[in-house]
Amino acid sequence: MLSIMKSSGFTFKHFFIAHDNCAMKVTTDSILLGAWTPLSENEMSIIDIGTGSGLLALMLAQRCQGQCNIDAIEIDKQASDQAEQNVKLSPWADVITVFNQDINAFCQRHSTPCYDLIISNPPYFTEGPSCRTLQRQQARYTTSLNQLSLLRIAEQLISAKGRFCLALPYSIALEFQITAKNRGWHIGRTLSVKDNNNKANYLMLLELSLDKREQQQEYLVLRDLQNQYTYEFRQLTQPFYLNF
């Protein structure tokens, strides 16, 4: 195992994530986003939209060595309570604030662009089988937060030189880039991810900004043909997984 998995969550090198009360559990996709998202010493103000268990907020706090302020927004009460508990038990309880609030309501109280980094692992399915709970429905489907709404929210919150990073299924990410460019966003880095070299890309991580930057296209394969984790994947996630 890459981390110690308990029935209620995951133990990483420097923190534990309980997720038994969250609709969406800890996933490799989220861990990739938290590990890959570019950070600089100038990015002191961060917002995690749809924090769930608080995983991304805690990963960024670790990477910033606590030298940042992170607002973690979560609409679901059970998930936000669990995120708050995860934060309290971590080394970075003093730099992360969890808000149990709809992001649209949050934006109404924060009308001045102020975040140097916006990160989100958003719901992305437009339709599909009904989920057994409203909690999971909100986490999986774009009925409560679609991609256009997410861009509008990011435009309202982002600072002039800020960046917006998110994870999307590969085919949806290609369409999302077109929508973002039409609204004046520029695509910086992208990371296309596949399970192994015999499979197609299934995930894309994106970095967007409102100021123009040189685009960099990167690629990552998770496992080799012997089903072992690749060197590149291990290096990227080594600060978090216990056995890397």
SS3 75: coil
What DSSP state is assigned to residue 143?
A: T
Radius of gyration (C-alpha) of the chain in whole angstroms: 17
Residue pLDDT tens, the chain, 244 long: 566 555 589 999 999 999 999 988 899 999 999 999 999 877 789 999 999 999 999 999 999 999 999 999 999 999 999 999 999 999 999 999 999 999 999 998 877 889 999 999 998 645 444 445 545 444 444 445 788 999 999 999 999 999 999 999 999 999 999 999 999 999 999 999 999 999 999 999 999 999 988 899 999 999 999 999 999 999 999 999 998 8
For the CA atoms of 118, 218, 181, 211, what is the dihedral angle to 10 degrees? Answer: 60
pLDDT score recorded for residue 138? 46
Separation of alpha carbons 12 and 19, rounded Å: 13
Spatial distance between the Cα atoms of 26 and 37, rounded to a whole number of angstroms? 17
State the Cα–Cα distance between residues 1 and 65, nearest whole angstrom: 26
Domains by residue range for the chain, with CATH: 4-237 (3.40.50.150)
HSE-up (13 A, CA, CB side) for residue 196: 8
Sheet holding 9-11, edge to edge: 4-6, 9-11, 16-18
pLDDT at 7: 56
Concatenating the DSSP letter of every residue in 182-241 gives HTT-EEEEEEEEESSTTS---EEEEEEESS----EEEEEESB-TTSPBPHHHHHHHTTT-
> Percent of the chain scored above 70 by pLDDT?
89
Name the residue with tokens 């880039």. 177
Tokens of 69: 């302020």
